[in-house]
Amino acid sequence: MNFLQMKHPIIQAPMAGVTTPEFVAACSEAGVLGSIGAGYLSAADTRKIIREVKALTEKPFSVNLFIPESTVANEKQLEDAYNALEPIRTELGISSKKPKYSISEFDDQVQVLLEENIKICSFTFGLPDEETVHVLKENGVYLIGTATTVQEAKLAEQAKMDAVVVQGSEAGGHRGSFHGELTFQPLNELLTNCLNAVKIPIIAAGGIANKEMLETALSTGAQAVQIGTALMAANESGAHPIHKQAILHSNKGCTTLTTAFSGKTARGIENRFISDMKNVGIAAYPYQNDLTKEIRKEAGKQGKSDFMSLWAGENVHLTTAGTVEEIIEKFI
């Protein structure tokens, strides 16, 4: 047992869109901390998935929320970004219509977490404000921030996070960055620097693909590791079957960083969408995410990996298939 009461010092990375109740519950049952990636969900859907996980396991699990951003929409930029996607919509047979933009239900999600008695909550893309931290802590919730730099780790500590995930540049999916210029420090370097700068427990994330990498992170001083890509092709994972196949057949060096899908920098397997979007206008996050939503969905339906967001970390080529339990076994 360790500081979060899981059997193994491993957190299943919250992965919005991938972390179905079956997957989260299977992870908790396998002795790691299952995590719901609730970032894109409404408050009602957050409650629904929490209840579904509770019905499948009595073991602890966490819920991950996206800190909302106050980006002001730039009409011209939105129009250019929408128009830039037109050739892809045409290729997929999607008719043009006025785009719909989503609104974060962060405060209501926090309320749901309290009502559902969730005891571990993690955040990415920023830190919760003082009042939110206060109310969650008063209710005994363990809070985990995300940092991609030493400065962000210090800010997480100052904001009274109980622990911080340090996300190395190898990590799959979105960068959790929220302060200063985007920087890309590999995990080993970032971990060592953060260990010297903060006292709260550190969870290491980014490219951890086997037992040896887990042991290196722990011996360096991390209290636990957070793994995403290594679990994504698991039988129970909610990743699209095409995404799983792309992961299982990937080669070393196949990932790249892109803002094309969401307007925010993220790492995934390079495909045509990423290369086609290199020289066109992209809207800011979260608008670009809304603008590409239908394309990603339709591409999934039509089985076209060219236009799907194939999020994956730098060590994706080491990912194996199997049940969650079988994959976790290889780490311990």
Residues that bind ligand FMN (CB under 6 A): 13-16, 18, 37, 39, 64, 124, 146, 167, 170-173, 176, 205-208, 226-230, 311-313, 315
Residue nearer to ligand FMN on the CB measure, 20 or 229: 229
Say which residues have a Cβ less than 8 Å from residue 304's Cβ, sequence separation at least 6: 92
Query: SS3 sequence, 98-142?
Result: CCCCCCCCHHHHHHHHHHCCCCEEEEECCCCCHHHHHHHHHCCCE
Closest approach of ligand FMN to the CB of residue 265, in Å: 12
Residue nearer to ligand FMN on the CB measure, 170 or 236: 170
Residue with tokens 């919760």: 128
Closest approach of ligand FMN to the CB of residue 161, in Å: 13
Closest approach of ligand FMN to the CB of residue 101, in Å: 19
Residue nearer to ligand FMN on the CB measure, 43 or 208: 208
Quote the DSSP letter at residue 58.
-
For residue 165, the SS3 value is strand
Q: In what order do the strands lie in the sheet with 224-227?
A: 10-12, 224-227, 202-205, 163-167, 142-147, 120-124, 61-66, 34-37
Q: Backbone dihedral region of 263: left (phi > 0), alpha (psi from -120 to 50 degrees) or beta?
A: left
Closest approach of ligand FMN to the CB of residue 97, in Å: 27
Residue nearer to ligand FMN on the CB measure, 157 or 170: 170
Closest approach of ligand FMN to the CB of residue 17, in Å: 7
Does 286 sit behind a cis peptide bond, omega within 30 degrees of 0 on the bond before it?
yes
Residue nearer to ligand FMN on the CB measure, 78 or 213: 213
Closest approach of ligand FMN to the CB of residue 73, in Å: 23
Residue with tokens 């780490």: 331
Strand 266-269 to strand 255-258: parallel, antiparallel, or no bridges (unpaired)? antiparallel
Closest approach of ligand FMN to the CB of residue 38, in Å: 8
Residue nearer to ligand FMN on the CB measure, 200 or 208: 208
Closest approach of ligand FMN to the CB of residue 167, in Å: 4
DSSP per residue over 63-99, as a string? EEEEPP--PPP-HHHHHHHHHHTHHHHHHHTPPP---
Residue with tokens 């803002």: 259
Where does residue 180 rank: exposed (0-12), middle (13-18), buried (19+ CB within 10 A)? exposed
Backbone angles phi, psi at 202, to 5 degrees: -115, 135
| Number of residues written out for the chain | 332
Residue nearer to ligand FMN on the CB measure, 21 or 172: 172
Closest approach of ligand FMN to the CB of residue 172, in Å: 3
Residue nearer to ligand FMN on the CB measure, 67 or 78: 67
Tokens at residue 199, please? 């006292």
Residue nearer to ligand FMN on the CB measure, 124 or 289: 124
